[in-house]
A = this chain, B = another copy of it.
């Protein structure tokens, strides 16, 4: 990770509000700031890396149109998504002048004061693009030119950034029905192990949902199998997981609205799946089927070793009008409360006591940190607690997380950090802020006499890389 700082950025930012805390946190941070980046979960488009000639950008598209944090905030302030470059599905026009899109961000950059988006953007502009001026309506144009020029240079090519950023592992997110073409190309180029796919069976599991048949047909194609029933479905999934593993996959990823797990009798799973194929599902069956597949996925992970990630509690496309106009996953994720304790119990009863399973739980409902997730991680050998996710991956969110979970779960039941980034150039900033925030928090515990400094130094490294390496079964460096 680049250690050079720009003039503008406070080198001690986020390390503490008192001189004593900053001094100690700085010592801890100096020990981890230069460690490699382990990024076991994120959304960087794999095509960017598969194609050696691919380039990022341009600035507006990269930092605005392609960044759902930025889009949210500007939309909430009344700016239509079309003006931010998002093209409606019906072909209506959208802003195409990239400089104008960038200008809209610059005009509103003050709205990001105190937000992680603001911190990420400032740090990325400074550290990756050498921007020393603050982004504003007045400076927008000059900074645009500087960023655009830099993006065009070979050293900002995505593959070059893997080295520049010292990325040890970058996991992408890939639908179960993906043909993995891009990952095969990476494999051919010797990048397997450094860039890897993640198995996401979201669409193929959503029986009865609008896109299900299409996803299933695509899944049959990539597997080369006909799926006439649940048994075929399981066989195909197991086969495709092996394909993912051959291309370096470390993990699966399961996004669920509310956590439900259930072990159906085999005949019942079969019957439901066949009713889905026949278009004769009863109400409630899609949910029960998904609950069962979650259970089954844990069973598979115990067999093939893929780490299992469950992310729960987000109502996707809460604003359906946006989803209709622009497509899914743009219409606003809004969290809900989650009952992990009862919802996950059937899965945990059967699989949770197996230390060979790594099951990582992530939430958007912070009330569950101390109430459910830390106790679950502090009991079940299989369970690891995921890092603060989405809205909570922020300096204060990190502090609340560490405050709430470490006393109950300890540190060894955490899975370390995951940046969840869509934007490749922002990855260093995200890891850097996590490292600063964790070191600052550890320093406060040392100053309070709750932790020895030597333990804090060890834990800073664990939080930066060590825990993620072990959670995702990476080789020790």
Q: For A119, list chain B residues within 8 Å (CB).
A: 450
What B residues does A78 contact at CB under 8 A?
Answer: 355, 381
Q: Kindly report which residue of chain B lies nearest to residue A394, judged by CB atoms.
A: B407
Nearest chain B CB to A277 CB, angstrom units: 30
Q: How far is the CA of A128 from the CA of B381 in the complex (A)?
A: 32
Q: Given A334-B376, A355-B78, A455–B17 Cβ distance below 8 Å?
A: no
- A238 lies within 8 A of chain B by Cβ: no
Tell me how far the C-beta of A291 lies from the nearest C-beta in chain B, rounded to whole angstroms. 18
CA A345 – CA B18 in complex, angstroms? 43
The stretch among A35-43, A105-113, A157-165, A166-174 that forms the contact with chain B is: A105-113
With a cutoff of 8 Å between Cβ atoms, the chain B residues found around residue A10 in the complex are 449
Closest to A459 in B: B113
Measured between beta carbons, the chain B residues less than 8 angstroms from A396 are: 403-404, 407
- B77, B114, B447: the one contacting A406 at CB < 8 Å is B114
A287 at interface (Cβ–Cβ under 8 A)?
A: no
Cα separation A318 to B374 with both chains bound (whole Å) = 14
Mark the stretch among A58-66, A197-205, A216-224, A365-373 that contacts chain B: A365-373
Complex Cα distance A396/B400, Å?
10
- Please state if B114 and A455 are interface contacts (CB–CB under 8 Å): yes
Q: Which residues of B contact A13 (CB under 8 A)?
A: 448-450
> Cβ of B18 and Cβ of A352 under 8 Å apart?
no
CB atoms of A332 and B379 under 8 A apart: yes
| Interface presence of A339 (CB below 8 A) | yes
Digitize A246-277: 1 where CB-to-B-CB distance is under 8 Å, 0 elsewhere. 00000000000000000000000000000000
Tell me if A326 counts as interface (CB < 8 A to partner B).
no
Q: A338 → chain B, closest Cβ, in Å? A: 9
Measured between alpha carbons, how far is A84 from B319 in the docked complex, in Å?
50
Q: Which residues of B contact A395 (CB under 8 A)?
A: 407, 448, 450
Provided the pairs A321-B349, A348-B319, A374-B391 are in contact, do residues A459 and B114 lie with their beta carbons within 8 angstroms? yes
- B residues less than 8 Å from A44 (CB atoms): none
**A334 / chain B contacts, CB cutoff of 8 Å:** 341, 372, 375-376, 379
Per-residue CB proximity of A203-218 to B under 8 Å, as 1/0?
0000000000000000
The interface bits of chain A over 68-80 (1 if a CB of B lies within 8 angstroms of the residue's CB, else 0) are 0000110111100
For residue A113, which residue of chain B has the nearest CB?
Answer: B455
Query: 5 closest A-B pairs (Cβ-Cβ)?
Result: A13-B449, A78-B355, A17-B447, A367-B367, A332-B379
Instruction: Contacts A337-B367, A353-B319, A448-B13 given; indicate if A332 touches B380 (C-beta within 8 A).
Output: yes
Complex Cα spacing A375 to B394, Å: 14
Q: Please choose the segment from A147-155, A229-237, A409-417, A418-426 that sits at the chain B interface, where 4 or more of its residues have CB less than 8 A away.
A: A409-417
A77-B381, A372-B335 in contact; A449/B12 too (CB < 8 A)?
A: yes
Given A318-B345, A334-B372: A451 in contact with B379 (beta carbons within 8 A) = no
